[in-house]
Chains A and B, each alone.
Chain A
Amino acid sequence: MRSIVYYLREFFRPEWVRKFFFAKTAPLVAPSYFKDYPSLTGKECTQCLTCMMICPAPGAIAVLHKKGGWEPEIYPGHCIRCGLCVEACPEGVLSSGRILDVTSRDRTAFSSWYRLQVDDTLCMRCGNCCVSCPVNREVDPQLAGTGTSASDEVIMRIEGGRVTILHEEKCTGCKTCENNCPNRAIRVARMVEGIQGEEEAEA
């Protein structure tokens, strides 16, 4: 009989009643290392668009001209919170979680370059790419028509009836050659490589 009374009394303990009727686990907060949507740090954006180029989600980030200058904007319905824009930005305009702390501690960065590739089966050797390239035009103003050039400093020229790429590293990624190619034979690809421990790491 007494045991039944003790048993029933258990259910009238205020602590038990509170635990039974209300949430038991503490309110859960996001941990400090959680990569939330990137937020602005207040540093000045130079509109290099590295963040937009590295973003894997379509329409997630745009660099907009606001009153105080250029400013990246994140769209939450599109952003996948991968944090690549935070890592890639050379100015540290964006921050998210502890990405900036980790990259400065480990001295990691992204290095990027442009790769030019000509598909010889599609290329018809018109030389449009060599002529239209703004870098080529600056190096060799004589370059015209057939796309042949006497200068060795041009990015690409027609040599022996086919396009030869001489100085890939001078490419600025403007894709003028791609737009002027009549059958999409030339392709400009942006290559990105993660690097660590180099002093002058440019993104």
Chain B
Amino acid sequence: MSILQEIKNAVRSRSIHVAYVDVGSCNGCDIEVLACLAPRYDIEQYGIYVHNNPREADVLLVIGSVTPQWVDKLRDIWEKIPEPKAAVAIGNCPISGCVYARRGTLTTPPVENYIPIAAQVPGCPPRPTEILSAILSVAPLIYKDYEEKHR
């Protein structure tokens, strides 16, 4: 492995840029993501930065069971994110639909049907520490030795 790649790995492990998108949830998981930004959990001390701009994001946090209005927009957002990229499903809604998965509902979970999901964080809502550790553990799987793997 070249020295340049090692430097890239070291820098990338402390520079993870995150965008989050709510595709129709109760906002409980949004609040838990925002709690990660608060001083108690302080997501930025781990080198994770929330910009909410897909053009500069590495990790997309998907929250909520998918409503019909979001189906095409979610794909657009996913395509706007430059490679390498990963999507993390936050909460039960993108995994199973949770309490929205009932007869006659308009939502169409799971979110895996629309974009590839790298990691799932179950919980209704998950703890901020669970969200944090999920981002921290999924990032090296995708960004470590990216140039070596995709030469």
- The residues of A that contact B41 with a CB separation of less than 8 Å are 25, 28
Number of interface residues of A (CB under 8 A): 18
Q: Is B45 an interface residue (CB 8 A)?
A: yes
Contact of A57 among B45, B99, B129 (CB under 8 A): B99
Q: Are B99 and A56 in contact (CB under 8 A)?
A: yes
Complex CA distance for A25 and B42, rounded to whole angstroms: 8
- The residues of A that contact B123 with a CB separation of less than 8 Å are 76, 81
Complex CA distance for A34 and B122, rounded to whole angstroms: 15
Q: Is A174 an interface residue (CB 8 A)?
A: no
Contact (A80, B99) CB under 8 Å given A34-B127, A57-B124 = yes
Query: Which among B49-57, B74-82, B90-98, B138-146 touches the partner chain?
Result: B90-98
Residue in B41, B42, B124 with the greatest tally of chain A CB atoms within 10 Å: B124
Q: How would residues 28 to 68 of chain A score, 1 for a CB under 8 Å from any chain B CB and 0 otherwise?
A: 11100010000000000000000000001111000000000
Q: Is B114 an interface residue (CB 8 A)?
A: no
Q: Are A80 and B98 in contact (CB under 8 A)?
A: yes
Chain A's nearest CB lies how many Å from the CB of B79? 26
Q: Is A8 an interface residue (CB 8 A)?
A: no
The A interface, classified by DSSP as helix, strand, loop or mixed, is: loop
Q: Is A145 an interface residue (CB 8 A)?
A: no
Q: Is B118 an interface residue (CB 8 A)?
A: no
Chain B's nearest CB lies how many Å from the CB of A67? 26
Residue in B42, B92, B95 with the greatest tally of chain A CB atoms within 10 Å: B92
Complex CA distance for A30 and B128, rounded to whole angstroms: 10
Contact of A25 among B45, B96, B99, B120 (CB under 8 A): B45
B115-151 CB contacts (< 8 Å) to partner A: 120, 122-124, 127, 129
12 residue pairs bridging A and B, Cβ less than 8 Å apart: A24-B42, A25-B42, A29-B129, A57-B99, A57-B124, A58-B101, A77-B92, A77-B120, A78-B101, A79-B92, A79-B122, A80-B99
Supplied contacts A28-B129, A30-B129, A76-B122, 7 more A-B pairs, CB within 8 Å: A28-B40, A57-B92, A57-B124, A77-B122, A78-B101, A80-B92, A80-B99
